[in-house]
Structure 1
Amino acid sequence: MRFLFIVQGEGRGHLTQALSLADMLRRHGHEVVEVLVGKSHGREVPPFFRTKIKAPVRAYEAPSLIYKKDRKRLDKLRTAFYNGNPRKLRQYGQSIEMIHRRIKKQQPDVVVNFYEMLPALAQLRFRTDIPFVNIAHQYLLRHPDYRHGTGDAQSLLILRLHTLLTGIGATKLLALSFYPMKSCARERIVVVPPLLRREVLDLQPIEGDYILGYMLNQGFENEVRRWHDAHPDVRLHFFWDKRDAPTELRVDDTLTLHRIDDEQFLHYMAGCRGYITTAGFESVCEALYLNKPVMLIPAHLEQEINAADASSIPGAATTGDSFDLSRLLDFMQTPRTFDHDTFRRWLLSAEETFVRELTSVVDRE
C-alpha cells in the first residue's frame, strides 16, 4: 500500500512519530510516497528528518504558536492576531490547495495526518475519497473516559476546537496513550501505544553522571543558566532548537547546550541520570521506555495535560513550573515505583497495532 504523510512541524514529537511509522510500514512491504510538513513561524524542518524519512519532503506554511516576550509561555492573543491577519490567511489557503494537489498527484491509498489542521480543511473543501487516518495524543481529549482534559477554560476550548478541526473528514483517529484504554467507536477513536523508533527500542540505557534536558522554547535558557550558576557541580546537557546557535555551545565544564540533533539526543538520553523537558509527549515516552526519572515543565495547556497524564502513572514523573532541577534531583532520590515492564510491553505492541489499523481502512475487494 502507498501512504502519504502530513506532519505538524512544531517541536520534535510529531516528526519522530512519522519516522517511526514510516519504518514500521516499510518493514511490512508498504511505501511512503511523500511527506508534507507544516512549517510554522520561526521553525525549520530539521535536517535529521529530511535525511531519515527516506521520502520526498515538501514544506508548507502552517499556523504558528506565538510565545510571550520571555519565550516560555504561549501568547494566545498574539497567536490569534498573527494567524488571523489577511496575509497569513491567504498563505494558509495556498497551503490547503498545495496539500490537495500533492494528494491528487500521488494518489496514495491512505493519507496519515499527524495532527495538522490544514489537511483536514483541504479534505473539507475538496472531498477526496482517499481515507485519512489521524494520529496524535491529543485525540484522547475526545475520549469519554479520559480524565486529564482540564485546565484554563479558554485555553481548553481552543485546544478542543483545534483537535476537533484536525479530525474533520478522518476515517479513524489513532489516539496515542501512555497506557491501554478501550476504543470509542462513536468518536472513531482507537487507543494505540506510543510510536517509538527502532533506534530508541534498541538503546541500552546506562546511568551516567549528567542530567539531560530539552527546551522547546529558548526563553527557558535563563532559568537553566541561573540554576546551573547555583549548582555548578551538576553536569547538564540541554538540547534546544535555536536556529542561530552553534551545533554545540559549551558554556563551561558542566553545562553544554546542543542544537537539536536526533542521534545525539538519543545518545544522551540513553546515558542520562534523569530527564527534564517541556512536557512533549514523545520524548517523555522515550525516557519512560528507558526507565529514566522525568520532570515535566509545561509551557501551555496541551503540555499541562501531557504532564498531568504522565505524572498520574505511579512513580513515572514529577512536574514543576520552572526549570528548578533541584526538584528533579529530589524525585530521583525517592524509591522507584514505576512499573517499567508493563509500560514496555504496551509500547512494544505498537507495530502490530499500527499496521493493522492503517491497512484495515482500505476496501480490498
Structure 2
Amino acid sequence: MRYLFIVQGDGRGHMTQAIALSEILRRNGHEVVEVLIGKSKVREIPDFFYEKIGAKVRVFDTLSFSFKKDKKHIHLLKTILYNITPKRLRKYKKSIEKIHRRIKKNEPDVVINFYEILTGFTHLRFSLDVPIINIGHQYLLKHPGYAHGKGDGQGMMFLRLHSLLCGVGATKTLALSFYPMKDYIPERIAVVPPLLRKEVLNLKPTKGDYILGYMLNHGYEAEVRTWHAKHPDINLHFFWDKKDADKEQRIDKNLTLHTIDDEKFLNFMSGCRGYVTTAGFESVCEALYLDKPIMMIPAHIEQEVNAADTASFGGGVIGNNFNISVLLNYMETKENSGDKFRKWVDSAEETFLRHLTTLV
C-alpha cells in the first residue's frame, strides 16, 4: 500500500514516531510516497529527520506556540492571538492548499497524520476522499478508561480542542499508550504500543557516570546552570534545540550542552545513570525501554498528563524544576521494572501493520 505522512514538527517525538513507522512499512513491502512536515516559528526541522525518514520531505508553515517571559511555559493567550493574525492565517491557508495539492498529486491509499492540526483543517476545507489514520498519545484523552487528564481547566480544555481538530475526518485513531488498554469502539480508537525505532530497540544499555537531560525549551538553561553550580562534581549532558547554538557547548568539565542530534542523543541515553526531561512522550518511552531512572519536569498541560501517567505505574518521579537532586534520590530506590513495557513495545510492528492495512 501507498502511504503519505503528515507530521507535526514541534519537538522530537512526532518525528521519531514517523521514522519508526516508515521503517516498519518499508520493511514489510509498503511505500511511503511523501512526507509533509509542519514547521513552526520556534523550531527547526533537524537533519536526522530528512536523513532517516526514507521519503521525499516537504515543509509547510504551521501553528506556533508563544512562550512566557521565562521561555519555559506556553502562554495560551499569546499563542491564540499570534496564530489568528491575518499574516499567519494567510500562511496557514497556503499550507492547507499545499497539503491538499500533495495528497491529490500522490494519490496515496492512506494518509497518516501525526498530530498535525492543519490536516484536520484541510479535511474541513476540501472534504478529503482518502482514508486518514491519526496517531498520537493525546487521543487517549478521549478514552473513558484513561485515568489522567480529567480536569476542566483552561489548559486542559485547549488540549482537548487541539486533539479534536487534529482528528477531524479520521477513519481510525491509533492512541499510543504506555500500557495495553481495551480499544474504544464508539470513537474508533485503537490503543497501540509506542513507536520506537530499531536504533532504540537494538541498544544495549549500560550505566555510565553522567546524568542525561533534554530541554525542549531553552529557558530551562538557567535552572540547570544553577543546580550545576551547587553540584559541580555531577557530570551532566543536556540536549536542547536552541536556534543558532553550537552543536556542542562545553560549559566546564562536567556540564555540556548539545544541540539535537538523534544518534548522539540515543548513545547518551543508552549509557546514562538517569534521565531528566520535560516529559515528552517519546523520550520517556525510550528511557523506560532502556530501564533508566526518569525525572520529569512538565512544561505544559500535555506533559503534565504524560508525567502523571508515568508516575502512576512507578516509571519515574515528577519535579517542579531542574533540581536534579530529586532524580539522584529516586535513583537510590528505583527497582528494575522494564520487562512488561519492553514486551508491549516489541508488539508494535505486528499491531501497526494490522491496523494500517485494515481500515475498519
TM bucket, shorter chain = over 0.9
Change (3 A) 1:92 1:335: closer
**Aligned pair 1:184/2:184, yes or no?**
yes
Displacement over 6 Å in runs of 4+: none
Give distance in 2, aligned partners of 1:176 and 1:165: 18
Residues 173-201 of structure 1: CA deviation (Å, up to 9, x unaligned) = 10000000000011110000000000000
Where structure 2 has 5 or more consecutive residues not aligned to the other structure, the ranges are none
* Cα pair 2:210 2:234 within 8 Å, conserved: yes
> Is 1:284 matched up with 2:284?
yes
- Residue 288 of structure 1 and its aligned partner are, at CA, apart by 0.3
Amino acid in structure 1 at the alignment position of 2:275: Y
Say yes or no: does 1:61 pair with 2:99. Answer: no
User: 1:152: how far off?
Assistant: 6.1
Instruction: Assess if the C-alpha contact under 8 Å between 2:40 and 2:64 holds in 1.
Output: yes
Whether the aligned pair in 1 keeps the contact of 2:67 and 2:75 (CA below 8 Å) is: yes
> Is the counterpart of residue 341 in structure 1 residue 339 in structure 2?
yes
Shifted more, 41-50 versus 12-21: the winner is 41-50
**CA distance, structure 2, for counterparts of residue 46 and residue 278 of structure 1:** 19
Q: 1:209 corresponds to which letter in structure 2?
A: D
Secondary structure, aligned partner of 2:35? strand
> What one-letter code is carried by the residue in structure 2 that aligns with 1:358?
L
| 1:105 alignment partner in structure 2 | 105
Q: What SS class does the counterpart of residue 295 from structure 2 fall into?
A: strand
Distance 1:191 1:239 in 2: 30
Paired residues for 1:346-357 under 5 Å: 346-357=344-355
> Quick check: 1:152–1:301 contact (8 Å CA) kept in 2?
no
Q: Which runs of 5+ in 1 are unaligned?
A: none
Instruction: Measure, in 2, the Cα distance between the counterparts of 1:136 and 1:286.
Output: 16
Are residue 4 (structure 1) and residue 8 (structure 2) matched? Answer: no
Listed one character per residue, the Cα deviations across residues 210-252 of structure 1 (whole Å, up to 9, x for unaligned) are 0000000000000000000000000000000011110100000
Q: For residues 66-105 of structure 1, what are the structure 2 equivalents within 5 Å? A: 66-105=66-105
Correspondence 1:197-236 to 2 at 5 A: 197-236=197-236
Contact 1:220 1:323 in 2 (8 A): yes
SS of residue in 2 equivalent to 1:269: helix
Q: Tell me the equivalent position of 1:34.
A: 34
Instruction: State the AA in 2 paired with 1:137.
Output: H
AA matched with 2:124: L
| Residue 128 of structure 1: how far off its partner (Å) | 2.1
TM-score by length of 1: 0.97
Pick which of 325-334 and 43-52 moved more.
43-52
Q: Is the 8 A contact 1:11 1:216 kept in 2?
A: yes
% identical equivalent positions: 62
Please name the residue that 2:45 is paired with.
Answer: 45
Look up the equivalent residue of 1:35 and give its one-letter code.
Answer: V
- Measure, in 1, the Cα distance between the counterparts of 2:319 and 2:190: 31
Does the CA contact (< 8 Å) of 2:293 and 2:334 recur in 1? no
Q: Secondary structure at the match of 2:119?
A: helix
For 2:45 and 2:296, locate their aligned partners in 1 and report how far apart those are by CA, in whole Å: 25
Is the 8 Å Cα contact of residues 318 and 328 (structure 1) preserved in structure 2? yes
Letter in 2 for 1:50: Y
- Who is 1:359 aligned against? 357
Distance 1:151 1:326 in 2: 30
RMSD over aligned CA atoms reads 0.9
Provide the residue aligned with 1:317 in structure 2.
316
CA shift digits 1:58-112 (9 cap, x unpaired): 1111011111111011101110110011111111111100000000000001000
1:150 Cα deviation from its structure 2 partner: 3.3
